[in-house]
Structure 1
Amino acid sequence: MEMGFISRIGAVTLNPANLTDLADRFGSDKGTIKHRYSELYHMLFHPYRDRPINFLEMGLQIGGPEHGKSADRTTTDLPSIRMWLEFFSMAQIHGLDVSDFGWFEDPRFHFHRCDMDLRENIRRAGDLLPELDIIIDDASHASHHQQNAFLELFPKLASGGLYIIEDLRWQPPPYEKDGITKTAALFRGFSEGRKFEHNDPQIEAEFTRLAPQISGCFMFTARYHKKRADQVAVIHKR
């Protein structure tokens, strides 16, 4: 098959565009310019590509409060959202961020503004969301933000859905709380022993209650011209 060839089988159009190519075209750091997560995601998400799914990404543009900028900063682009809209032909794409991206208009994009520092904020945002098929957490990367989001939003995930947490190797100094169990350690322990261990007994109990709903979990490590590896947690719901 020649590059760029689009064929039809009955009424179904086969779109050969690779997710890494789309990431690079739209300037998403999920492509070759930084993380190269797009190679993993192309394999995981291809079965969903032309289905009417509900997709949520948290964290829509680099340079927010985790990097010392105001939550009320002027936002200029949504590289990953543009990529997802191109990749998923029928998906409803939801975006959640502490900064305002309400200016971006597309009939399949829905924006939710939320400060993830408080769980009740995430809970309120979750009440406005439909049942979700894929969730990606690429927000602040603070451990408690990641854990707040998982506890509130994993129940919104449909059976068979995927919950992904990016950039587990890095936590932002402005947000990270001293002494909290790192999200990477939390899910690595579960992937190895089917048991959550957290230094806060209440949080551990909440994760433990969700454990029977998890059919599988693995830690993906990406290296692309970096001295340190990037880690991604992929959690599949029963």
Structure 2
Amino acid sequence: MGRGQKNLTDLADRFGSDKGSTKHRYTELYQMLFLPFRERDINFLEMGLLIGGPEHGIDKDRKTEDLPSIRMWLEYFAKAKIHGLDVSDFSWFEHERFKFFRCDMDSRANIAEASGAMPSMDIVIDDASHASHHQQNAFLELFPRLKSGGLYVVEDLRWQPKMMEKSGITKTADMFQGYQVDGVFTHNDPDVQDQFNALRKDISGCFVFQAGFNKKKRDQVAVIHKR
């Protein structure tokens, strides 16, 4: 009630996406960020297409039967070309504006190969395994291919899968929180740190939001704007 025109939270709740009011509430933020893109012919990419998979100890070759957020994006962005990337197989889903890429986020070469087959993106959302090195691999490969004025979003920063997280690695949330405060990236791997800092010239803004948009809670989602 009172939301006016078609709202992303309503769509998330209808299609069963955890981005809506039932769990993370990301769509409240996305409604504001993405509304200017709604009627445009944009390229959109989401990584991580369905809850479950290796990050929860489930085989990557699991049977997949739904794509709640992709169905949500297709309805919200009426003219957009929607791209999906996941380690599990979703090639069974067919839509004239959707294209699927199967990719292992553990391999930067695999991510580079997949991104090389895609057009430059206007919006990228990382909702994949949430392992820190996977998030960082993806950002280093995909942010340079983001269009000027584009948005890159990393979800679920406060949770990393124990069976996939590398011991001692700098958390992605800490990297972006540090950048938000100091304007530089800090990482315990000097090579990764240098690669992130080389991208600073292309970042015009970075904001980190906490779970439930409550500043007393842990960091949950980062939004980075491409210069």
State the TM-score bracket (shorter-chain normalisation).
Answer: over 0.9
From 47, 52, 67, the equivalent of 1:63 is 52
Aligned to 2:191: 202
**Structure 2, unpaired ranges of 5+:** none
Query: Which letter maps to 2:75?
Result: E
1:78 aligns to 2:63 (yes or no) = no
Q: Kindly indicate whether the alpha-carbon contact (under 8 Å) linking 1:222 and 1:229 is maintained by their aligned counterparts in 2.
A: yes
RMSD value, Cα: 1.8
Q: Does 1:48 align with 2:37?
A: yes
Identity between Structure 1 and Structure 2 (%): 67
2:24 corresponds to which of 16, 35, 60: 35
Amino acid across the alignment from 1:98: V
Residue 216 of structure 1, aligned match among 198, 202, 205: 205
State whether residues 35 and 224 of structure 1, in contact with CA within 8 Å, keep that contact through their aligned partners in structure 2.
no
What SS is found at the alignment partner of 1:223? helix
Paired letter, 1:180: I
TM, length-normalised to structure 2: 0.96
Residues 46, 178 of structure 1: CA spacing in aligned structure 2 closer, same or farther, 3 A cutoff?
same
Contact 1:122 1:152 in 2 (8 A): yes
CA separation in 2, counterparts of 1:80 and 1:147?
22
* SS of corresponding position for 1:56: strand
SS in 1 for 2:44: strand
Which structure 1 residue ranges, 4+ long, deviate > 2 Å from structure 2?
2-5, 227-230
Correspondence for 1:168: 157
The answer to whether the 8 A contact 1:54-1:134 is kept is: yes
| 1:216 positional shift | 0.5
**1:132 is matched with which residue?**
121
In the alignment, is the contact (CA less than 8 A) between 2:154 and 2:222 conserved in 1? yes
Q: Distance in 1 between matches of 2:108 and 2:38?
A: 31
2:211·2:217 contact (CA, 8 Å) conserved in 1? no
Output the TM-score relative to the length of structure 1.
Answer: 0.92
Question: Following TM superposition, by how much is the alpha carbon of 1:222 offset from its aligned partner in structure 2, in angstroms?
Answer: 3.2
CA displacement 1:114-157 (0-9 Å, x = unmatched): 01101101000011110100000000000000000000000110
* Deviation sequence 1:34-64 (CA, Å, 0-9, x none): 1010000000000000000000000000011
Structure of higher CA gyration radius: 1
Shift of 1:3: 7.8
Q: Find the aligned partners of 2:218 and 2:10 in 1 and give their Cα distance.
A: 22
After TM superposition, the structure 1 = structure 2 runs for residues 152-191 of structure 1, keeping only pairs within 5 Å, are 152-191=141-180
Residue 36 and residue 4 in structure 1: after superposition, are their counterparts in 2 closer, same or farther (change >3 A)?
Answer: closer
Q: How far 1:184 moved relative to its partner?
A: 0.2
CA contact (8 A) 1:146 1:165 kept: yes
Contact 1:35 1:230 in 2 (8 A): no
Change (3 A) 1:181 1:224: closer
Equivalent in the alignment of 2:7: 18
**Paired AA for residue 187 in structure 2:** H
Q: Partner residue of 1:10?
A: none
Confirm or deny: 8 A CA contact 1:223 1:229 kept in the other structure: no
For structure 1, which runs of at least 5 residues remain unmatched after alignment? 6-15
Indicate the residue corresponding to 2:100 in structure 1. 111
